Amino acid sequence: MKLPMPSRRRAAILTSVVSVAAATLSAALVVAGPAASAKSLVPATDYRCIGREVTVHFSSNSGFGKNVPAVVITIGAEVIKQRGTDVRIHKTPLGSLVTVQHGSPVPDSQSDSLTLLAPDVNLSTDPTAEPTEFMTTLFSTRTVTSIGGPQFVEGVIQNSSPQPLFCTASASSLSSQ
C-alpha cells in the first residue's frame, strides 16, 4: 500500500518543522552541558510510533540475539515484519535511517522500501522519568530500476513520500513479536 503523497506546501512545512526541531535539540544539548552528563543515561533501543493509518515498532536489540534489529510496520491492514540483515541501518547526522523492503522488487522496473528516521535518544535510568516522546518521519520510497543500472533510467530514480509520526522511545525490546 502506497502512503499518500503530500502537497509541496505540506512537504515544505514538514521540512521546516524538522529543521526547527533539530536546532532546538542542538540548543537544548548545549544548554544542558555538563549537568546532563551527571545523570545516568542509556541509549534507547525501542521506538514505537504512530501516524495516519501507520504504526511502526523498531527495536535495535530485538531479543533474537545481541544487536539484532527488528521492525514491524502496519499500514492499514498490511503488516510488514523484518529482522536481522533484512533491516538496513545507516547512521547519519540526523540519526539512523532504518530501511526495510516493502513487497518484492520487480526486476528492470521498480522496488519499494520504507525508511524510518530514528533519532538517537538517551534515556534516564530513573524509573519515575517520563517517557521520551518526539516526532519523526517514515518515508515510503519507490526506486525505478534498470538491469543496465541507474544511468539508463530517465527522470527521478527515487520518489519518496513522507509520513509524520509521533513516537516514544524506551530501552525495552521486540522479543515477544
DSSP 155-169: S-SEEEEEEEEEEEE
pLDDT digits (tens, 9 = 90+) for 143-154: 998 888 888 888
* Predicted TM-score of the model (pTM): 0.72
Three cell numbers, residue 75: 499500514
**Residues 27/31/33/39 CA torsion (nearest 10 deg):** -100
Q: Are 61 and 67 in contact (CB under 8 A)?
A: yes
Cα 67 from chain centroid? 17
**Residues 144/139/71/49 CA torsion (nearest 10 deg):** -170
Instruction: Give, in order, the Cα–Cα distances in Å from 17 to each of 110, 133, 136.
Output: 31, 15, 10
Instruction: State the pLDDT at residue 126.
Output: 87
Coil, strand or helix: which one is 121?
coil
Instruction: State the pLDDT at residue 123.
Output: 94
Instruction: State the pLDDT at residue 11.
Output: 53
Q: Are 124 and 40 in contact (CB under 8 A)?
A: yes
Instruction: State the pLDDT at residue 174.
Output: 45
Please give the Cα distance from 152 to 107 (Å, whole number). Answer: 14
DSSP letter, residue 106: B
Instruction: State the pLDDT at residue 161.
Output: 96
Instruction: State the pLDDT at residue 86.
Output: 94
Query: Among 47, 50, 43, 91, which Cα is nearest to 70's?
Result: 47
Helix or strand holding residue 81 (H, E): strand 78-83
- Cell 547526522 -> residue: 93
Instruction: State the pLDDT at residue 20.
Output: 43
Residues of the chain with pLDDT under 70: 1-38, 63-66, 173-177
Instruction: State the pLDDT at residue 7.
Output: 55
Q: Are 68 and 87 in contact (CB under 8 A)?
A: no
